[in-house]
Structure 1
Amino acid sequence: MAQAGVVLDKDQFNCSICLDVLKDPVTIPCGHSYCSGCIKHYWDQDEYLGVYGCPQCRQSFNPRPLLGRNTMLADVVERFKNTRFQTTHTPAAESFAGPEDVQCDVCTGRKNKAVKSCLVCLASYCEPHLKPHYESAAFKKHRLVAASEKLQETICPQHDKLLEVYCRTDNQCICYLCLTDEHKGHDTVLAETEIREKKTQLGEEKRHSQTKIQEREREAMELRQAIMSLTRSTRAAIGESDKVFTELIRSIELKRFEVRELIGVQERNAVRHAEELLSRLEKETNELKRREAELDKLSHTEDHVQFLRSCQTVTPIAGGLPSIIVDPNLDFGLVMVAVNDFNSLLTEVCQGGFSSIFERVREVTIVDSPIPAIDLEAEQLNAQTSVHMDATPTTFPPTPGLDQAPVGPLNPFLSPGPALSTFGGFALPFGSKLSSGSRQRHLQRRSHPRRK
């Protein structure tokens, strides 16, 4: 590829997740390519969400895309690796110092890359110029360290001596001459001794940090599992509540039709009975009118003999219907009162049941103990120095639609009970039962004005 005059940039073949050259590259639907292992691990972390996104363009996919090896890209990456290996292993490439390399202090013209720095000479050397330090006896006692551009920082600015002692009192590196001057009587040790102790402390902190990381990863995994479990439980609870409320609505509709039918039947029976009485009243009225006409005709007869004979043939009045009194409460007003009482009773039971439901819903949490809140502003302000933690327990926002006050029964007649109570053959849900006093109060029979 280099012979063809094509300049390839290493970043073109880097995975944006691990920032290394692509290994077993795969291409996802949006067109970006990643290491097969990197994108699999990245998506595994979002498994509980059910949505998988591209780390670069943030495009989301659902369901999870199948990953196939990009054979052409893998071949190009392999050729790029071979070309880079051949280029980077040429002597010329190794000898010259790059922008980020430490330059040899002896080289003239284009400087080579330094491989070691001498703390005695206070200079850095490339491989060829470093040979005298290995071959000549004059340099045997010189201390060589990894190439560094900060050699002057290892020299005492006051005595121009190597900083080989550490003052624990002042927390700084000093030279041997400083021991007899400013730092006389201070707690001092060799710098190498302090370095070993510091490394030991850092090792302990690192092990503690690794243990903490494992603990946090375990907690994160438990939280993800808890979220998935809560999601499944939520769907089941919603489905069950929909089923219960659908059945409740169906029962209410059935009772509505039954009440309508009952009112209609009562109307038809009352009307039929009244019409029968009306027919008998009309028949009796006609008979009385006929007799009245007959008596009127007889009263005008002038023949006394004929009058007396006719009086004997007059039939006496037969016993008619008893007196009919129309009910003054000629309507279904009392029925409407009873329906309104039932509505009030059902509303009261529902309110108590809903209070119980809301209280149980608010008890469902993922984390049992309160977590201290992180002071994000202080953390951002002191990100380079320290992290400040707010010890105030986490306060969660109020749940919309739920009263934050303690939930209790809305009236003294409601008490916790079975999930489903029955009343007159009708199921009352919401986990509340009605005391006998409340039933008598709400369902006492109203006395009819004419009922004794």
Structure 2
Amino acid sequence: MAEANISVDQDQFSCSICLDILKDPVTIPCGHSYCMGCIKGCWDQDDHTGVYSCPQCRQTFTPRPVLGRNTMLAEVVEKLKKTGLQAAPPAHCYAGPGDVACDFCTGRKHKAIKSCLACLASYCETHLQPHYEFPGFKKHKLVKATENLQEKICSNHDKLLEVFCRSDQQCICMLCAMDEHRGHDTVSVVAERTEKQKQLGVTQSKFQQRIQEREKELQDLRQAVQSLKRSAQTAEEDSERIFTELIRSIERRRSEVKELIRDEEKAEVSRAEGLLERLEQEIAELRRREAELEQLSHTEDHIHFLQSCQSLCAPPGPGDLPSIPVSPNVSFEAVRKSVSELKERLEDVFKAEFKVCGRVEEVSVLEPRPDRTSYNMAVSSHWTPTQRTESFVCLRGTER
């Protein structure tokens, strides 16, 4: 009797745990088969739970099934080995999510390593060999495996996009160049790629220059913030020392002045930190775009390059951040000086036996007014991009 020829897939006789041809095959109650050693090792890890499951279908078994060698399956595997059945390829050879699959593999497809722009197909290593061996394929253009090969074909003529129309800024085929684009400024996609590559280099230089400028501003602003904090701390300490020398009647105002200084520091630091965050975001965005440009500059896909280059090569905008005018030499010297002057003036008044009676009515931030009899003490300063406005704490009293 003639033996029947049966077509089998080697995956049918591979263990899904070790991905190799079955060795001492055993079949578990759900019907799936594994190497004896593989399934034992898998279930040994579940001994602490007492529940055992199939690695493929997840059906559970309690108690642990007794494993017996599947003699018939073992004989089939041995016979098939003699007829040329080999171990399954490693799992990383198969196409997965995000991979380009070979167009000529049947069953489970392998990863494609090259795409042919003439055949409009992608090939794994095995199916690519004819392109290297047969003279008829030698002139075919092979590129890195890529998806959406139809995007490189003219939708009107089903021809390869080989020409770039500078008049309309689009990729076209040879028939388009002789038909609706006749008389237009056309060049090969390779020539246009070379020209756009130069533009890309100029744009990259602009991005790098902008990054360097912003990093310098970031560093200067950080130093200014530190100087601002140190000045605020010094002003707070000096004000505290001077206030402790004042008469008891203004003792309760000390904490209010201190709070004014801290509020000013907080406002300035908050503004600076906002600018820091925006600078860091802009630098991150510039770096991201620079990385995209770098990746685009190395692509072998001329069509993808030309279709993406115009949008990516748009030069960076001037940005909407204001200039950073914070000076590293900012100080609260005006606070210390004004408090010292107030102390001296009060001492002069006391020496002249001029007594200021009544209670302090309010502490307000005011500009000096010539029509008011008052003692003005500067305790805070406001810095803007164009000016510094000094404010004053007005201690008002009525003469008895």
| TM-score above 0.5, yes or no | no
- Give the TM-score of the pair, scaled to structure 2: 0.45
Larger Rg: 1
- Give the TM-score of the pair, scaled to structure 1: 0.40
